[in-house]
Structure 1
Amino acid sequence: MKSKKLAMLFGVVFLSLVLVGCSNNSKSQNSTSQTFKVATSDQIATLNTAKYSDMISLEAMDNAFEGLYRFDSNGKPVLAGAKSVTKNDASDVYTFKLRTNAKWSNGDAVTAKDYVYAWQNLIDPTTASPNSQRLDPIKNAQAIRKGEMSPDQLGVKAIDDYTLEVDLEAPISYLDELLTGAPFFPKNEKAVAKYGDKYGTTSAKTVYNGPYVVTGWTGTNDTWSYVKNTKYWDKANVKLKRADVKVVKDTSTAGKLFQTGKIDYTILGNEFAKQYANTTGYHSKKIPLIGYLGFNTQRSVTGNVHARKATAQAFDKKSLVKNVLNAGTPLNGIVPTDFAYNSETKKEYRSQAGNMITYNKKAAQTEWAKAKEELGKDNLTLELLTSDTNEAKQVGAFLQSQLEQNLPGLKVTVRSIPLKSRLAATTAYNYDIVYGTWQADYADPVNFISDGGQYHLNTDYKSEEFWNDLNKAATEYATDPTKRWETLINAETHLIKDDAYTAPVYQGSMTYLLNTRVKGLTISPYGTVLFYRDVELNS
């Protein structure tokens, strides 16, 4: 999940996929294999839970690690690493009893100290985690992120080896969903000490406590496997012994591999959506996945608010989803539709918040004229950074054409590079504008407003009103759904409408192909991440 959970795409975002004409998957050459064969759109970037900001890495972590909770086959959070939980009368202190039979893949016991170490490591400003704000509901987290307190003052404590106490800033209704996320997974301190900066950079330099271990990932290669973890506490209920994953960036190739039985699952590109919509094995669903543009506010042009507002309004979102992506819907705020509902009023967030920024050529050109005047230049050049998947490159080409056509004097270059390199470039501020996709971890607007793929939000976005609104939503209005909702809408207004720190582009839909012999595959309720824990393969 910043640029976070930037980032990014599983297959490719919005993807309309296709179950390439495979009328009888039981006839495929995989029919007798007990290995689940999966195609994905890019490489793993990291296995360090404090460092990820892309969906490929997140999927690896969700299958190889386990936190206090996990999602079950119905997409609901259930206890996992914890066997029981209690809370105080104020609902702001939770006590978790951990499973005493939970082990790391190196044989070490998974203890409360592993959670304390992982959370303190992630919130430490020196770690520079793109997901540090995810811990904000925990007591003192915001102050620690800002350098005002030390990491050991975070509201998490090991009472004993198997008792973990979590102290919140204020009660929240979605704590169980929040704690399913990778930022809240434990971490084996002994392994981190052993591998140092290399921890999580290869499968061999990582230890795991989830249903699978990652094997065969060198840090740069296009294939790896998830192999059943023999040390996992609930291994008896893990049916699948192995899943082999390969990177297939070309959507046509992925379709052919599926059609010939060489893979069991793939997300395919947008160009196949209509062609294969009626094919056996084709699945499609609307998901809270967004496409967005992130701006490097440290550079002169994209540091100018008028330039950002101009860019955010200068491309036709309807044309993009209709003619390029062939799926999804235009998005005019950072929070997607049909995602979060007020527990008191039952109102859907996006409909209540309304449009923050839309395609408006006239308004874009007015803002562009102001930007050029302030910058003292009539001709400007911007680089748009994307990943090198087919769909990302297509979106990049569309945006390039639209921006150059609608903003006089603008020259846009597109740089498309592998996802891992793209993430490194954004972290190092080596970009003007970055196009990426992002999906949620839990069903609350704050997941997008305070995260949502927005690179360097914690350090570079200086709006006091925004940060005050988020603080009030997390504390003063934590138990008042109506006021909390209004405050979050104010925060989104500052972020998107007033300052255009990020530009929403579209909301995606997921279309995929799945071999009919595969049973029990669960997909994240908030995106495209696959959970292999309950998979079974029919012969």
Structure 2
Amino acid sequence: MKLKKILAAMLAISISASMLTACGTKEPEVNNSTEQNSGTETNNEDTQATNDRTLYPGTAEANAITVNITSEPPELFSVTTTDTTSFSVIRHVIENLVMLDENDKVVPGVAKDWTVSDDGLVYTFNLRDNMKWSNGEPVTANDFVFAWKALLTPEFAADYAYFGYVFKNGLAYNQGEVGAEELGFKAVSDYVLEVTLENPTAYFLDTLAFGVFAPVNEKAYNEFGTAYGTDSDKMVYNGAFRIASWEHESKIVLEKNPDYYAADQIELEKINFVMINDTNAALNAFKAGELDLTNINGEQAALMKTENFPVLTYDDGSTFYLEYNLTDSQLANANLRKAITYALDKQAFVDSIVKNTSKPAVSFTAPAINGLSKKFNEEVGSLVPTVDVAKAKEYYAKALEELGVDTITLSMICDDTDTAIKNAAFVQEQLKVNLGIDVQVESMPFKSRIERMSNKDFSIVFAGWGPDYNDPMTFLDMFETGNGNNHTSYSNAAYDELLGKVRTELDLNTRFGYLVELEKQLMEDLPIGPIYWRSRDYIYSGKIESGVIRTAFQDMNFKYVKLAK
């Protein structure tokens, strides 16, 4: 009974998952971070009092919207995908066991209902029997078993494999210690899926809405092999939409899936995702009636407000930071990492580059994440300064002495969007002026930057991370030794031990105490240097009446958009 009460309490504070819909985010293609607001007409004070969008009526195509996603999705194979853009597309074409509603609450997806054992370890999902893939195959429990086994199979090299450690024997299977028959999930029948967890996990249902837990049709995967998810005809769909075409580096066209079980709730016949990586070009396209929705930067938001056009703002839950590659002999030096982090004026970055309600990051975990009794970032407090040049110079002097050099030259990679290049230039100038460090900047397409990070082929990268679910672990477990998303190669035995304690601790006060310790340890070692917590400004045309969902846990969800009549 005591255990049941503890589990109930944990569930009460658990909130929703997504995928930045977390996950690795694009370098701020718009200038943006913070306080969770949904894009469903419930945005903060930056939204204009008027809701009149008739000044820009939008695109002419009937029953369709055109949305700027800025960059090419690197891939759309849910097992190995890691970035927000890809997961945003996947959300529209693949249905998970559960999904999130407009308030980021878990709702039925492929699973029509489920039960949970008294000890919180066994979940039994009853699946809908009227769903099918676009290749005609029925959607069954086996599609989840196949996908989740792939996630944990080392040959797939999934960066998110650690998400599967929540299942009984997930880690043991990933490390080759047990066979697949001992994994904690199985198809009891075609439409009944049984899941056993390694430990009671309050936010487990929330994580199931995240893209890496999407089903994969085994027949289709076997047909396409490693090309799965690389083109519109190299994958299959069970969601509200199907990908009709994919013009790489240009456009992805989604068309309504007539076989979707809730097709009668989907009004849109088509969504055009276009890739315009220049903010001025995107705004011009919007004004010309070629876009219905686009992100905008702070200067553009001010401009639109002078036209009395509604600007919406939401906290996308992301932290942006400098990621240091600790295999670099210079950046392996902790004092150098501290010098760089302390030398950057984060408030000046927000004021001069971002120019919106984003906030300087004085810890890592973003303000969208709940803590024990308030937001987690409030509970940990300020762990790094917004800037401290004097202290930075002290750390830099120590680093030079320890490294036995007189000067240091570094390299940094970033995206090739106009805003990303401005961000990198800011860092470059700050380190030159405040420390005398020369930084060589290399810009590249988003897809290439993600690949370089995965291969650890960088010294410093301007990167971002958004939440996959609403718990501090969505940020903090990334830096576990060997984690697929730990591009820094950071390794700390004490940190890993604390993570293990968090995963098994049922007392909430003790658990969140461990989480605070983790945050403090991370900000002491600084394998990453926090810069800012992102808010995003965006606009949509008069063609859209309602239904735009944009939150920290659903970066883009347009499935239920209603068009103006």
Give the TM-score, by structure 1 length: 0.92
**Aligned partner of 2:264 among 236, 239, 249:** 236
Following superposition of structure 1 onto structure 2, how do residues 100-499 of structure 1 map, counting pairs within 5 Å?
Answer: 100-150=129-179, 153-218=182-247, 220-277=248-305, 279-327=308-356, 328-342=358-372, 346-358=373-385, 359-408=387-436, 410-451=437-478, 456-457=485-486, 460-475=489-504, 477=505, 479-497=506-524, 499=525
Q: Distance in 2 between matches of 1:513 and 1:379?
A: 46
SS of 2:414's equivalent in the other structure is strand
Q: Distance in 2 between matches of 1:147 and 1:294?
A: 31
1:529 maps to what in 2? Answer: 555
Q: Does the Cα contact within 8 Å between 2:268 and 2:561 map onto a contact in 1? A: yes
Cα displacement (A) at 1:275: 2.3
Q: Does the Cα contact within 8 Å between 2:367 and 2:377 map onto a contact in 1? A: yes
**Aligned partner of 2:69 among 24, 40, 50:** 40
Cα displacement (A) at 1:375: 2.3
Q: Distance in 2 between matches of 1:118 and 1:9?
A: 29
**Aligned partner of 1:500 among 526, 549, 558:** 526
Q: Distance in 2 between matches of 1:13 and 1:427?
A: 25
Question: Does the C-alpha gap of structure 1 residues 495 and 73 become closer, same or farther in structure 2, counting only changes over 3 Å?
Answer: same
Q: Distance in 1 between matches of 2:355 and 2:510?
A: 38
Q: Distance in 1 between matches of 2:231 and 2:28?
A: 20
Match for 1:246: what amino acid? V
Q: Distance in 1 between matches of 2:470 and 2:375?
A: 11
Q: Does the Cα contact within 8 Å between 1:288 and 1:440 map onto a contact in 2? A: yes
Question: Does the C-alpha gap of structure 1 residues 153 and 355 become closer, same or farther in structure 2, counting only changes over 3 Å?
Answer: farther
Q: Does the Cα contact within 8 Å between 2:69 and 2:276 map onto a contact in 1? A: yes
Q: Does the Cα contact within 8 Å between 1:335 and 1:449 map onto a contact in 2? A: yes
Q: Does the Cα contact within 8 Å between 1:105 and 1:207 map onto a contact in 2? A: yes
Q: Distance in 1 between matches of 2:228 and 2:207?
A: 25
SS of 1:509's equivalent in the other structure is strand
1:165-192 superposed Cα distances (whole Å, 9 cap, x missing partner): 1111222222222111001101111122
Moved over 6 A (4+): 15-19, 452-455
Q: Does the Cα contact within 8 Å between 2:56 and 2:287 map onto a contact in 1? A: no
Q: Does the Cα contact within 8 Å between 1:10 and 1:40 map onto a contact in 2? A: no
Count of aligned pairs: 530
Following superposition of structure 1 onto structure 2, how do residues 35-74 of structure 1 map, counting pairs within 5 Å?
Answer: 35-74=64-103
SS of 2:260's equivalent in the other structure is coil
SS of 2:89's equivalent in the other structure is helix
SS of 1:302's equivalent in the other structure is coil
Match for 1:158: what amino acid? A
Q: Does the Cα contact within 8 Å between 2:376 and 2:472 map onto a contact in 1? A: yes
Q: Distance in 2 between matches of 1:281 and 1:160?
A: 51
SS of 1:84's equivalent in the other structure is strand
Q: Does the Cα contact within 8 Å between 2:325 and 2:488 map onto a contact in 1? A: no
Q: Which moved more, 1:135-144 or 1:117-126?
A: 135-144
Q: Distance in 1 between matches of 2:210 and 2:360?
A: 27
Q: Distance in 1 between matches of 2:408 and 2:462?
A: 19
Q: Distance in 2 between matches of 1:152 and 1:145?
A: 13
Cα displacement (A) at 1:3: 12
SS of 1:461's equivalent in the other structure is coil
1:108-129 superposed Cα distances (whole Å, 9 cap, x missing partner): 1111111111111112233222
Match for 1:330: what amino acid? P
Q: Distance in 2 between matches of 1:146 and 1:435?
A: 32
Matched, 1:7 2:35: no
Q: Distance in 1 between matches of 2:149 and 2:216?
A: 10
Cα displacement (A) at 1:42: 0.9
Q: Does the Cα contact within 8 Å between 1:26 and 1:517 map onto a contact in 2? A: no
Aligned-residue Cα RMSD (Å) equals 2.6
Q: Does the Cα contact within 8 Å between 1:97 and 1:164 map onto a contact in 2? A: yes
1:275-320 superposed Cα distances (whole Å, 9 cap, x missing partner): 2235323111333121112121222122222222222222000000
Cα displacement (A) at 1:53: 2.1
SS of 1:217's equivalent in the other structure is strand
Percent identical pairs in the alignment equals 29
Q: Which moved more, 1:143-152 or 1:266-275?
A: 143-152
Q: Does the Cα contact within 8 Å between 1:301 and 1:307 map onto a contact in 2? A: yes
Question: Does the C-alpha gap of structure 1 residues 500 and 32 become closer, same or farther in structure 2, counting only changes over 3 Å?
Answer: closer
Cα displacement (A) at 1:483: 0.7
Give the TM-score, by structure 2 length: 0.88
Gaps of 5+ in 1: none
Cα displacement (A) at 1:379: 2.0
Cα displacement (A) at 1:9: 5.1
Question: Does the C-alpha gap of structure 1 residues 260 and 192 become closer, same or farther in structure 2, counting only changes over 3 Å?
Answer: same
SS of 1:373's equivalent in the other structure is helix
Question: Does the C-alpha gap of structure 1 residues 5 and 469 become closer, same or farther in structure 2, counting only changes over 3 Å?
Answer: same
Question: Does the C-alpha gap of structure 1 residues 144 and 361 become closer, same or farther in structure 2, counting only changes over 3 Å?
Answer: farther
Cα displacement (A) at 1:323: 1.0
Cα displacement (A) at 1:517: 2.8
2:10 maps to what in 1? Answer: none
Q: Distance in 2 between matches of 1:401 and 1:196?
A: 46
Q: Distance in 2 between matches of 1:73 and 1:375?
A: 52
Q: Distance in 2 between matches of 1:482 and 1:171?
A: 16
